A and B are shown apart, each in its own frame.
Chain A
Amino acid sequence: MKETNSEIIEKPAAAEGTQLPAGEGNIKTESTLFAEPLFHVGGLKVTNSLANSWLVVIIVLILSIAIKRSIKAVPRGLQNAFEMIVEGFLGLFDSVTGSRAKSMKYFPLVFSFFIFILLSNWMGLLPGVGSIGQVVAEGREKVFVPYFRGGTADLNTTLALAIIGVVASHVFGVMALGAWHYLNKFINFKAFLEIPKKIRQDPTVLVVNPIKAFVGLIEIIGEVAKVASLSFRLFGNIFAGEVLLASMSALLAFGVPIPFMFLEVIVGIVQALIFSMLILSYLTMNTSAEEH
């Protein structure tokens, strides 16, 4: 990927020499924390990360259709590989959920997270992603804007994924436990309603149950923290990987980035796995009855 980076770094110099007056047309090629906009469709600002996500969607679409076409009772080729992956994941999920029925129920959602994140992470490593782009004038400066940027190297994407995951875990929780019971996990009405009943037997409920209610409030903060930690962990890892690769190729474009490429391939899998397994554990936790 980043072999071409050296050219890009050189390009501004060449451009400077030939076309632009000195001091005015320095093209900036810094890695930004945000995804740069490419163009606008209606009110929507299409960023390079969004474009990359669309590519991921297209790849998933093609793969899925290929799998659907090749599905037979006796598996062969692509279906075999896919089944092997699915079986492996089901085994892993069983160790978290504790039952095959639950694993099967959450599998499509969690597996979709894994595939989407994995492909987005890896798409960011492809040659050309982050290195082929256009030069855009931004005020007085000229800025290099790549056409593609890893989908997960944009907080909008990771935040969207984290919100879907956490909201889904609550939806499944309400479905599994019932709205009233589920609501009491967070805003503990039950704890207060219990006080008049139990106070004669055990006066300590006067102290214990308000604490229980307070714990419920902490859980609400916990849910916000879940979204924050999920989104920032994924974004941070992938964005850091891209910056790392860019710096390594800036040092020496040939050879040096290769070990880091392998590292980033592994990071891509690990982060996708961490994200999906965390969503799975939230799903499992929220659908099982409260124990404390």
Chain B
Amino acid sequence: MDSLISTFHLDVKLLIAQIINFAIVFAVLYFFALKPLFRVMADRTATVEKGLEDAKKIEQRLVQAETERNEIITAAKKEAAAVMEKTAKEAALRRDELIAQTKEEIGAIINTEKEKMRAEKASTLKEIKAEVADLVALSLEKLLDKKLTGKDDAEMIKKIVKDVK
């Protein structure tokens, strides 16, 4: 043991000095480099894991939103179809109503026109009759002026007119 110490110049003080050196290295590395680094690395791992989880959640939400959207679209389509159908029905009903109303109005117009025409015809006939009677009377007067008296004349005219009729 003594030869070992003398050969290698072992010295307790030097040994302690080197132990202190190593302790300093350990403390400095631990507190300045490793401890903060491990904290940062752990934080980063946590952040990345959270990010991945969030991404998964977002994807799930996206899928959910997609299905929801599709559902909403189909519902809206259905509703729109129903509304369209209802509108079409109403429109048809309304058209029929309008047509019927128009028909009625046209009928009424035609009737009044017919009435008017009938009245006009009647009045025209009356006038024509009167004129024909006058004409006949005039022509008869001219033909029979001297042979017939007033009384016979009138009776004759009446008879002729009846026959004409």
A-side interface residues toward B, CB under 8 Å?
A: 33-35, 43-45, 47, 50, 53-54, 56-57, 60-61, 63-65, 67-68, 71-73, 75, 79, 82-83, 86, 104, 107-109, 111-113, 115-116, 151, 154-157, 159-161, 163-164, 235
- Say which one of B23-31, B109-117, B142-150, B156-164 lies at the interface with A: B23-31
Annotate B9-20 by CB proximity to A: 1 below 8 A, 0 otherwise. Answer: 111011111110
**Of A73, A109, A160, which one neighbours B44 at CB under 8 angstroms?**
A73
A44-B13, A72-B40 as given contacts; A160 in contact with B28, CB under 8 Å: no
Contact assessment for A156 and B30 in the assembled complex, using a CB-CB cutoff below 8 Å: no
Contact assessment for B8 and A107 in the assembled complex, using a CB-CB cutoff below 8 Å: no
Contact assessment for A54 and B21 in the assembled complex, using a CB-CB cutoff below 8 Å: yes
Contact assessment for A60 and B11 in the assembled complex, using a CB-CB cutoff below 8 Å: no
Q: Once the chains are docked, how many angstroms separate the CA of A154 from the CA of B21? A: 14
Q: Once the chains are docked, how many angstroms separate the CA of A43 from the CA of B22? A: 20
Chief secondary structure at chain A's binding surface: helix
Contact assessment for A161 and B22 in the assembled complex, using a CB-CB cutoff below 8 Å: yes
Contact assessment for B29 and A50 in the assembled complex, using a CB-CB cutoff below 8 Å: no
Most central of A111, A154, A156 by chain B CB within 10 Å: A156
Number of interface residues of B (CB under 8 A): 32
Query: Which residue of chain A is the closest to B39 with respect to CB atoms?
Result: A71
Taking the closest CB of chain B, its distance from the CB of A35, in whole angstroms, is 7
**Of A44, A56, A163, which one neighbours B19 at CB under 8 angstroms?**
A163
**Of A45, A47, A111, which one neighbours B34 at CB under 8 angstroms?**
A111
Contact assessment for A60 and B8 in the assembled complex, using a CB-CB cutoff below 8 Å: no
Q: Once the chains are docked, how many angstroms separate the CA of A204 from the CA of B36? A: 56
Query: Which residue of chain A is the closest to B18 with respect to CB atoms?
Result: A160
Q: Once the chains are docked, how many angstroms separate the CA of A20 from the CA of B135? A: 189
A60-B25, A161-B18 as given contacts; A71 in contact with B34, CB under 8 Å: no
Contact assessment for B43 and A108 in the assembled complex, using a CB-CB cutoff below 8 Å: no
Contact assessment for A67 and B33 in the assembled complex, using a CB-CB cutoff below 8 Å: yes
Q: Once the chains are docked, how many angstroms separate the CA of A71 from the CA of B32? A: 10
Contact assessment for B29 and A60 in the assembled complex, using a CB-CB cutoff below 8 Å: yes
Q: What are 30 A-B pairs with beta-carbon distances under 8 A?
A: A33-B8, A34-B7, A34-B8, A34-B9, A44-B13, A45-B11, A53-B17, A56-B25, A57-B28, A60-B24, A61-B24, A64-B29, A64-B32, A67-B33, A71-B40, A75-B40, A82-B37, A107-B34, A108-B29, A113-B22, A115-B25, A115-B29, A116-B25, A154-B14, A156-B8, A156-B15, A161-B22, A163-B19, A164-B19, A164-B22
A60-B29, A111-B34, A112-B30 as given contacts; A45 in contact with B21, CB under 8 Å: no
Query: Which residue of chain B is the closest to A228 with respect to CB atoms?
Result: B4
Contact assessment for B11 and A68 in the assembled complex, using a CB-CB cutoff below 8 Å: no
**Of A34, A67, A151, which one neighbours B37 at CB under 8 angstroms?**
A67
Is B106 an interface position by the 8 A CB rule?
no
**Residues of A with C-beta under 8 A to B19:** 160, 163-164
Contact assessment for B37 and A50 in the assembled complex, using a CB-CB cutoff below 8 Å: no
**Residues of A with C-beta under 8 A to B26:** 108-109, 112
Contact assessment for A45 and B29 in the assembled complex, using a CB-CB cutoff below 8 Å: no
Q: Once the chains are docked, how many angstroms separate the CA of A164 from the CA of B37? A: 25
**Of A75, A82, A156, which one neighbours B33 at CB under 8 angstroms?**
A82
Contact assessment for B40 and A65 in the assembled complex, using a CB-CB cutoff below 8 Å: no
**Of B14, B33, B35, B43, which one neighbours A50 at CB under 8 angstroms?**
B14
Taking the closest CB of chain A, its distance from the CB of B79, in whole angstroms, is 51
Contact assessment for A116 and B22 in the assembled complex, using a CB-CB cutoff below 8 Å: yes
Q: Once the chains are docked, how many angstroms separate the CA of A43 from the CA of B38? A: 40
**Residues of A with C-beta under 8 A to B14:** 35, 44-45, 47, 50, 154, 156
Taking the closest CB of chain A, its distance from the CB of B14, in whole angstroms, is 4
Q: 8 Å CB contacts to A: which residues of B37-68?
A: 37-38, 40-41, 43-44, 47
Query: Which residue of chain A is the closest to B16 with respect to CB atoms?
Result: A160
A33-B8, A54-B21, A109-B26 as given contacts; A160 in contact with B15, CB under 8 Å: yes
Taking the closest CB of chain B, its distance from the CB of A156, in whole angstroms, is 4
Q: Once the chains are docked, how many angstroms separate the CA of A75 from the CA of B36? A: 13
Name the 9 nearest CB pairs between A and B, nearest first: A34-B9, A64-B32, A160-B18, A155-B8, A112-B26, A156-B14, A64-B33, A68-B32, A108-B30
Contact assessment for B40 and A57 in the assembled complex, using a CB-CB cutoff below 8 Å: no
Query: Which residue of chain B is the closest to A65 with respect to CB atoms?
Result: B32
